């Protein structure tokens, strides 16, 4: 009987399963975040909005405060009436414009005020010495006699009752407001202000909340009781009301005042979160070891406790940004935001209220920008919550 009970297979390892390469905590979190399609879509949307707000105004031929009164209240889509070889557009307030067939506005046609026939609802405009008559008396007919058009345009004996075509407004893709300012440019600048306020306020709140909550949780006892009662007092009144009262106390809006107001109260929820994380971490062995060898308290907090609670902190920050954007937009909407002629998304929404039924596009674009931004950040926050939770690691 042979003593050789082993059989050598050589140096080939083709049949041996190779283990997955080791990943760090952040590499694994990024791997899982990439699998979340909504979070990646949110990242793409936020990146595009940042480009829209930072780079976009550089390519705009208009500034956010430039007023072109002859082009006021132009919509993003123009219904063109063809009369001979010209195209005309009539706005809801009966301003008449000469337009190219592709939708590029050439100029406003002046109204001959001396020949306005107000009783018969007929306006006369002059283009190169020739009359163009706009008859909107049909709009005043009783409902039973109402025609399928509201007005007629007459030029050189030819009458148009229905639009020939509808084209996008090339000069002003988002239209203009009641002062003739380009709405696209103002939405771009509004993105700058809204996102700047949100990011600065969030970073400041994060810094205050993390330090305050970590000290409260680590010290415990009477110190924790006193610090948390202060948080309870602040939380007893809705934070948005605190911000409004602070803005009133500052006697007006302004970018700096909004940042100070948001930074002064929004940190309380972050402090509660960090305190809870520190309370669960400070009893761990690595904290006990650091205390035994004489590591200072602040160093334990900064080097050991906060880094181990960084996951929930980042998720909370991602969720805090849309809250700050919404609060800033709300303050601007009620008149406590940035002052004219600066524009934030809330200011634009407020300016659009007076003509909401006639010019709804003036509200649509800033409201859509707010909605997209809030949704994108919420998707990112949900993805980060799942990606940074080690219990969900696969």
Distance, in Å, from the CA atom of 89 to the CA atom of 144, rounded to the nearest integer, reads 28
Element holding 285 (H helix, E strand): helix 285-292
Helical ranges in 220-238 per DSSP H: 221-235
Q: Is the torsion defined by CA of 361, 365, 370, 375 positive or negative?
A: positive
Question: 125: left (phi > 0), else alpha (psi -120 to 50), else beta?
Answer: beta
Terminal CA-CA length for the chain: 49
CB 148 within 8 A of CB 123: no
Q: What is the pTM of this model?
A: 0.83
- The β-bridge relationship of strands 96-99 and 86-90 is antiparallel
User: For the stretch 132-147, what's the b/e string if a residue is b when 16 or more beta carbons lie within 10 angstroms of its beta carbon?
Assistant: bebbbebeeeeeeeee
SS3 86: strand
The answer to whether residues 100 and 106 touch, using CB atoms and an 8 Å cutoff, is yes
Element (H, E) at 325: helix 310-333
What DSSP designation does 292 have? H
**Helix, coil or strand: residue 389:** coil
Question: For the chain, which domains are there?
Answer: 77-168 (no CATH), 183-392 (1.10.3720.10)
Is 151:85 a contact under the CB 8 Å cutoff? no
Element (H, E) at 32: helix 25-34
- pLDDT per position in the chain (394 positions), as tens? 556 666 665 555 555 555 566 777 778 888 888 888 999 999 999 999 999 999 988 898 998 888 998 999 999 999 999 988 899 999 888 889 999 989 999 999 998 888 887 777 888 999 888 888 888 876 655 555 556 667 888 888 888 888 888 999 999 999 999 889 999 999 999 999 888 888 888 888 888 999 999 999 988 889 989 999 998 888 887 777 878 888 778 766 677 888 888 888 888 888 998 998 888 888 888 888 888 888 888 888 888 888 888 888 888 888 888 888 888 888 888 877 777 777 889 889 988 888 888 899 999 999 999 999 999 999 998 888 888 876 555 5
Closest to 137 (Cα-Cα) out of 128, 127, 147, 129:
147
**Predicted pLDDT of residue 259:** 83
DSSP string of 242-291, one letter each residue: HHHHHHHHTTS--HHHHHHHHHHHTHHHHHHHHHHHHHHHTTSHHHHHHH
What pLDDT is stored for residue 76 in this prediction?
94
The answer to whether 9 and 336 have CB atoms below 8 angstroms apart is: no
> Residue 335's pLDDT is what?
79
155, β-bridge pairs: 132, 158
């Amino acid at each position: 009987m042979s003593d050789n009970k082993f059989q050598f297979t050589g140096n080939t390892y083709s049949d041996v399963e190779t283990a997955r390469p080791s990943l760090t905590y952040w590499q694994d979190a990024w791997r899982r975040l990439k699998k979340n399609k909504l979070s990646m879509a949110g990242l793409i949307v936020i990146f595009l909005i940042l480009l829209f707000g930072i780079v976009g105004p550089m390519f705009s031929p208009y500034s956010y405060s430039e007023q072109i009164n002859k082009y006021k209240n132009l919509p993003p889509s123009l219904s063109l009436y063809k009369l001979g070889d010209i195209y005309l557009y009539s706005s809801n307030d009966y301003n008449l414009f000469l337009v190219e067939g592709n939708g590029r506005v050439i100029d406003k046609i002046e109204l001959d005020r001396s020949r306005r026939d107000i009783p018969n609802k007929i306006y006369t405009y002059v283009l190169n010495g020739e009359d163009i008559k706009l008859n909107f008396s049909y709009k005043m007919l009783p409902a039973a006699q109402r025609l399928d058009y509201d007005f007629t345009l007459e030029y050189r004996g030819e009458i148009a009752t229905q639009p020939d075509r509808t084209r996008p407004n090339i000069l002003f893709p988002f239209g203009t407001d009641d002062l003739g300012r380009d709405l696209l440019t103002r939405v771009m600048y509004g993105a700058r202000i809204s996102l700047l306020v949100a990011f600065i306020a969030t970073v400041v709140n994060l810094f205050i909340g993390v330090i305050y909550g970590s000290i409260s949780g680590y010290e415990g006892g009477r110190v924790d009781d006193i610090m948390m009662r202060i948080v309870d007092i602040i939380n007893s009144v809705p934070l948005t009301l605190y911000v409004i009262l602070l803005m009133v106390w500052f006697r007006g809006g302004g970018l700096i005042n909004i940042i100070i107001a948001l930074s002064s109260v929004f940190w309380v929820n972050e402090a509660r979160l960090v305190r809870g994380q520190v309370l669960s971490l400070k009893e761990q062995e690595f904290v006990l070891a650091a205390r035994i060898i004489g590591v200072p308290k602040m160093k334990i907090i900064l080097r050991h406790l906060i880094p181990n609670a960084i996951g929930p902190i980042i998720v909370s920050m991602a969720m805090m940004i849309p809250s700050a954007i919404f609060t800033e937009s709300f303050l601007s909407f009620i008149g406590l935001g940035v002052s004219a002629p600066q524009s934030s998304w809330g200011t634009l929404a407020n300016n659009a209220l007076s003509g909401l039924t006639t010019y709804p596009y003036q509200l649509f674009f800033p409201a859509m920008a707010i909605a997209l931004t809030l949704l994108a950040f919420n998707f990112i926050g949900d993805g980060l919550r799942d990606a940074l939770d080690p219990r969900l690691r696969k």
